[in-house]
Amino acid sequence: MYTIQPKKIIILNILDILNKYTDAEHTMSQKEIQEKLASEYSMKVERKAIKRNLMDLIDFGCQIEYKETPRMTLNKQTGEYEENSILSDFYIEREFDNSELRLLIDSIIFSNHIPLGDKKRLIDKLEGLSNIYFKTRMKHVASMGGKKSNTNALFYTIEVLDEAISKGKQVRFHYDEYGMDKKLHHRKNSDGNIRDYIINPYQIVAKNGRYYLICNYDKYDDVANYRLDRISDIELLDTDAKPVTELPGMQYGLDLKKHLNQHIYMFSDKIISAKFIAQKYILNDIMDFFGDEAQLSDKTEDTVTVTVQVAEQDMELWALQFATEIMVIEPKELSEKCRNNILAATKRYKEIV
């Protein structure tokens, strides 16, 4: 078997050293690189060879930054001083900086659908994109309870849906829900048979720490949302998916930002125009949930009237969550539902007092 001679892999070892030990805040001189080559790779390399290999890496396209300092040196042949440059402070300019990696890692930590073991594996991969100085909050991951779920099945579901969306094809799957045994079971029809879902998929989104599929259940003409971790036995079909532009109100396509603002809890329900009076101090919450499309009017010293386009069931649940801070005034039917929900909750609590 052919073995590469050590001298030929100097360039790879130098690149490995830069990847392992450098960033914009941790640079290395040629001498330090020389010392690492000797201590970690048992390679004695002259400084000229290190500089030559560094320049080759840069010419090859590696994102290596360095500092160039001019200096005057004596030319022994001419006896005159000439201006040269000293190259120092070498480091790798990384695809992700540490703050970006921490953001990605935090997204994994607080994800509700990734089990503990898979979180650690993914975080290890992200850590590998930085250097030895990069410190993550692994202790927070270790303290979190692991969720028992089949991540491989989730990733497979994502792959199938991605292919279906790209090719404009339908999918078939079963949709699961929890039973009293705390286990997921396939949803059934009224006759007791397992329900098959034939779906026209349009978009995968992350919302509230979970993945959702925005799609159309082929039996109906509206847009629906399904949690990916509840989808099982998914199958890519040969039949063409119904274009989203054929759905009522979707002639211009799916407005993703608008859809997510209207479905704050991702319930599949009709969109209504809801108006409510809110205490001003929850304005941050209103903007967090409904975005900048929320219309504000009729300000007083303490309150503001808010109008939003939202799925009716989402609004009903949100109104109950903020029952002490808001009052729904339109539509009247929704206002009555909210009132009855509060009365029913009050009655239940009176029963246990």
pLDDT at 149: 52
Question: Highest mean pLDDT: which of 39-53, 91-105, 234-248?
Answer: 234-248
Question: Highest mean pLDDT: which of 87-101, 110-124, 149-163, 335-349?
Answer: 335-349
Tell me the pLDDT band of 2, cut-offs 50, 70 and 90: very low
Query: Looking at the predicted structure, is the pLDDT value of residue 152 above 80?
Result: no
Give every CB contact of residue 170 below 8 A, 6+ residues apart in sequence: 164, 198, 199, 200, 201, 218, 237, 239, 240, 241
Tens of pLDDT, residue by residue over 106-131, are 788 777 767 777 888 888 888 888 88
Higher pLDDT, 98 or 340: 340
Tell me the pLDDT band of 23, cut-offs 50, 70 and 90: confident
Query: Looking at the predicted structure, is the pLDDT value of residue 134 above 90?
Result: no
pLDDT at 76: 77
Tens of pLDDT, residue by residue over 197-225, are 999 999 998 888 788 999 999 889 999 99
Rounded to an integer, the average pLDDT of 83-97 is 87
Looking at residue 252, the DSSP 8-state letter turns out to be: T
Rounded to an integer, the average pLDDT of 16-27 is 90
pLDDT at 6: 64
pLDDT at 353: 58
pLDDT at 143: 45
**High-pLDDT (> 90) share of the chain, %:** 58
List, in sequence order, the alpha helices (H) in the chain. 10-21, 30-41, 47-60, 98-109, 116-127, 138-143, 151-167, 256-262, 283-290, 312-321, 332-352
Tell me the pLDDT band of 144, cut-offs 50, 70 and 90: very low
Strands 197-207 and 169-178: antiparallel
Higher pLDDT, 268 or 193: 193
pLDDT at 253: 92
What sign does the CA torsion over 61, 66, 69, 72 have?
A: negative
Rounded to an integer, the average pLDDT of 71-81 is 77
Tens of pLDDT, residue by residue over 310-322, are 999 999 999 999 9
Rounded to an integer, the average pLDDT of 226-250 is 94
pLDDT at 1: 40
Tell me the pLDDT band of 105, cut-offs 50, 70 and 90: confident
What sign does the CA torsion over 319, 323, 326, 331 have?
A: positive
Query: Looking at the predicted structure, is the pLDDT value of residue 139 above 60?
Result: no
Look at 69-73, 183-187, 248-252 and tell me which has the smallest mean pLDDT: 69-73
Tell me the pLDDT band of 138, cut-offs 50, 70 and 90: very low
Burial, 123: exposed, middle or buried (Cβ in 10 Å; 0-12, 13-18, 19+)? buried
Indicate the average pLDDT of the chain.
87
pLDDT at 209: 77
pLDDT at 55: 92
Count CB atoms within 10 A of the CB of residue 279: 15
